[in-house]
Amino acid sequence: MNRHILFIFLLLGTGIPVPARAADAVEAARAFRQVHPDLILNRFAQFLAVPNVAGDTLNIRRNAAILRDRFVQRGATMEILELPGASPLVVGRLPAPGATRTLGIYVHYDGQPVDSTAWTDGPWSPVLRDGPLSEGGKPIPWPGPGQTTDPEWRIYARSAGDDKAPFAALWAALDALDAADIARTSNLVFFFEGEEEAGSPHLEDYLRTYADRLQADVWLIADGPAHQSRRPQLVFGVRGVTSMQITVYGPEHGLHSGHYGNWAPNPALLLSQLLASMKDADGNVLVEGYLDQADPLSEADREALATVPDVDRALMDEFGLARTEGTGSLAERLLLPSLNITGLASAKVGREARNVIPPTATASLDLRLVRGCKPEVMQELVEAHIRKQGYFIVREDPDHATRLAHPRITKVTRGRGYPAARTSMDDPIVRPLVAAAERAAGEPVILMPSLGGSLPLYLFNEILEKPVVIVPIANHDDNQHAADENLRLANLWYGIDLWAAVLTMED
């Protein structure tokens, strides 16, 4: 038992209020989790034991009810809201007397669907192991009160990492502050979604319908993993996304490559030439105006980039790559809009290949967007590029007359999409958040300007008109979305400390 724990123990006995300084809050959190690992983990395991796949209506409602009850127990006013055909939304408020700032906290309580046969333990039968399964981790008993835990132990269950971990961390942080009589410095508004893994089909509806209940100064998105280096990170954005499909036409039906090869235009060649024209040999996008849509980076953004560890070489080794596209690190490249071919198809290859001039060739593209890029504008720029290559664009397969009228025809289908969300590093919320996270981590945290992946966080920007910051706590190797999902204890402990610090941060 170290000095701080002794200090807290003494305070707990006396009822004397503790000054609300984040440093103290982190100490309180540490003390609490060292004294009460049993409470924290048992509560978490009970919640993990409730199946939580969106669409499993009965169980999803059980999850929502548990969330409501547990936050009510901690003084919050909670509501379960419903829209037709949607998983329930759990919202709530937990005011802090005298606080002028309100933090919105987003977590999702649903998990990815499971293939139970692929799991070592059942997906909803939480098991504590003395290490990762991949290194032979063995089941061990859940700890008793005050029992020393090893930070490398792992909890195995669906959503242990993605995304029930933040609930366990929040409950423990609130309890620790309460036990130590430390006052929070911000009001809290909760937004707990129950169908994120199903693509958040009602997120926009919920935000619009219940905007009045969701007034906060910033939205903290409690989701996602820590950095691959195991160092904690704060993430200030995600890319947007949209897609396009391009089909180029040759003869109306496949022609014999002997009888007509060299004469009938080959759509696979035409498509190759069209795609080749969109990027240079280094992989830089050549579509006019495409890169210009991105908001420029600020000095603070560049400083944040400098905090990101260089994992490029390690990833290249892992993926078997001798080069990468363009210039700049992975973190920098993710701040550019991408134009990526996700698939090509024309007739058949290999043993199935026939001596044919194919009638069509098709490419699927996905466009990852950064702040400033509107999905429709990016699609428009790609189409303008296609037209510049001499193509007539159609929206349905061309009829005979259209084919005869245009030497180069492509059908372009535009996918739906949404823009990026990114909070500028100059935003006033950034400094206190970073300070709180560093206090919890005990070291500088990584400030990641944007993830490469896409989430519809722009809705928080556009509907609630507030910035978003992602506060991940799970280990990066948590098998999220797969079998044997798990949470490393060290990451849960960090999460508890992090929330204790965030809930007590000053300006």
Binding residues among 440-479 for a copy of itself as defined by CB under 8 A: 451-454
Which strand ranges, in their side-by-side order, compose the sheet holding 101-108?
A: 77-81, 89-94, 186-193, 101-108, 218-221, 468-470, 233-235, 446-448
Tokens standing for residue 86: 């949607």
Nearer to a copy of itself, 183 or 269 (CB): 269
Nearer to a copy of itself, 194 or 449 (CB): 449
Tokens standing for residue 37: 């690992």
Among positions 7-36, residues that touch a copy of itself (CB under 8 A) are none
338 binds a copy of itself (CB under 8 A): yes
77 binds a copy of itself (CB under 8 A): no
Nearer to a copy of itself, 82 or 295 (CB): 295
Contact 36, 171 (CB under 8 A): no
60 binds a copy of itself (CB under 8 A): no
* 3-class DSSP assignment, residue 76: coil
Point out which residues pair with 255 in neighbouring strands.
357
Whole-number Å distance between alpha carbons of 220 and 222: 6
Whole-number Å distance between alpha carbons of 67 and 106: 13
Tokens standing for residue 266: 């080959």
Radius of gyration of the chain (CA): 26
CB of 395 to a copy of itself, least distance (A): 15
Nearer to a copy of itself, 42 or 329 (CB): 329
**Which one of the spans 64-72, 153-161, 188-196, 336-344 is the region binding a copy of itself (CB under 8 A)?**
336-344
CB of 353 to a copy of itself, least distance (A): 4
Whole-number Å distance between alpha carbons of 428 and 436: 14
366 binds a copy of itself (CB under 8 A): yes
Whole-number Å distance between alpha carbons of 345 and 246: 11
CB of 286 to a copy of itself, least distance (A): 11
CB of 446 to a copy of itself, least distance (A): 15
Tokens standing for residue 15: 């009822």
Containing 241, the helix (H) or strand (E) segment is: strand 240-249
344 binds a copy of itself (CB under 8 A): yes
Containing 300, the helix (H) or strand (E) segment is: helix 299-306
Binding mask 254-283 toward a copy of itself (x if CB under 8 A, else -) reads: -xxxxxxxxxxxx-xx-xxx-xxx-x-x-x
Task: Identify the residue whose tokens are 């799991």.
Answer: 119
- The residue within the footprint of a copy of itself, chosen from 49, 80, 347, 490 (CB under 8 A), is 347
CB of 491 to a copy of itself, least distance (A): 20
Among positions 217-256, residues that touch a copy of itself (CB under 8 A) are 239, 241, 243, 245, 250-253, 255-256
Binding mask 375-414 toward a copy of itself (x if CB under 8 A, else -) reads: -------------------------x--xxxxxx------
Whole-number Å distance between alpha carbons of 33 and 224: 22
Q: What angle do CA 118, 120, 125 make, to 5 degrees?
A: 105
Query: What φ, ψ does residue 161 adopt, rounded to 5°?
Result: -95, -45
Nearer to a copy of itself, 209 or 324 (CB): 324
Nearer to a copy of itself, 18 or 268 (CB): 268
Size of the site for a copy of itself (CB under 8 A): 83
Amino acid at 382: V
CB of 289 to a copy of itself, least distance (A): 17
Contact 195, 53 (CB under 8 A): no
Nearer to a copy of itself, 203 or 255 (CB): 255
Among positions 309-328, residues that touch a copy of itself (CB under 8 A) are 315-317, 319-326
CB of 332 to a copy of itself, least distance (A): 9
What is the DSSP track for 289-329?
Answer: TTGGGSPPPPHHHHHHHHTS---HHHHHHHHT-S--SSSS-
